Amino acid sequence: MPDDTSPTAPSPAGLPGEPHPEYRARALEEALVERGWLATGAVDARLRRAADADAGTVHAAGAVVVARAWTDDAFRSRLLEDATGAAASLGFGGGHGERLVALAQSAEVHNVIVCTLCSCYPTALLGPPPEWYRSDEYRARVVREPRAVLAEFGTVLGDEVDVRVWDSTSEVRYFTLPQRPAHAAGLDEAGLRDLVTRDSLIGVRLLDQARAG
């Protein structure tokens, strides 16, 4: 788990002849602070916010949006029509003015998101992307062999399912609207939120699988 306070003990992990990246990062921070370009503590504050967003509540905003869509048909329609506006109506928005687009999962259609060029991701709803999402393996492979990649997450789809991969090449940020799981009968909106996983909104896992998001 990311720890926002204690550096890992520097080890010879950098390129040969280069100081450990912890030292290089702190050297950059120190120079920028001393020259007046950054406020003291700005880097640690930002790091702490990202670590908090990555902690237990990583997908909190996304879960609120999905649970509302599961319980309110008008909201669901609006979300699929204008996800930016629907999310904003609940207080969530893209920090850089990105446009949000929601993709509905169904028995017939399965959507999965990627950014093959860098690591564009719906941060406003899901926090910082997981390391696997930034990995070269995911970026290279999921556009070409999504079924094989999904199987590595334990998601095996039938041949009849229309698999749609969305490469985030503009300022549009995609997320999926998972199907409401069969075991969710009788739960209220708050209970439904607890079922929603980050990985289901990326599209690499289904909610009827074991909860491993």
Active site residues: 115, 118-120
Interaction residues for other proteins, span 5-44 (CB under 8 A): 6-8, 10, 13, 15, 18-32, 34-35, 37-38, 42-44
Q: How many residues bind other proteins (CB under 8 A)?
A: 84
Range in contact with other proteins (rule: CB under 8 A) among 59-67, 74-82, 109-117, 180-188: 109-117
Interaction residues for other proteins, span 184-203 (CB under 8 A): 199
Give the residue among 67, 104, 99, 80 at the shortest CA–CA distance from 169. Answer: 99
Report the residue number, 169 or 191, with the smaller CB distance to other proteins. 169
Of 72, 81, 137, 194, the residue at the interface with other proteins (CB under 8 A) is 137
Report the residue number, 39 or 189, with the smaller CB distance to other proteins. 39
Report the residue number, 24 or 72, with the smaller CB distance to other proteins. 24
88 binds other proteins (CB under 8 A): no
107 binds other proteins (CB under 8 A): no
Of 72, 81, 145, 189, the residue at the interface with other proteins (CB under 8 A) is 145
Report the residue number, 104 or 164, with the smaller CB distance to other proteins. 164
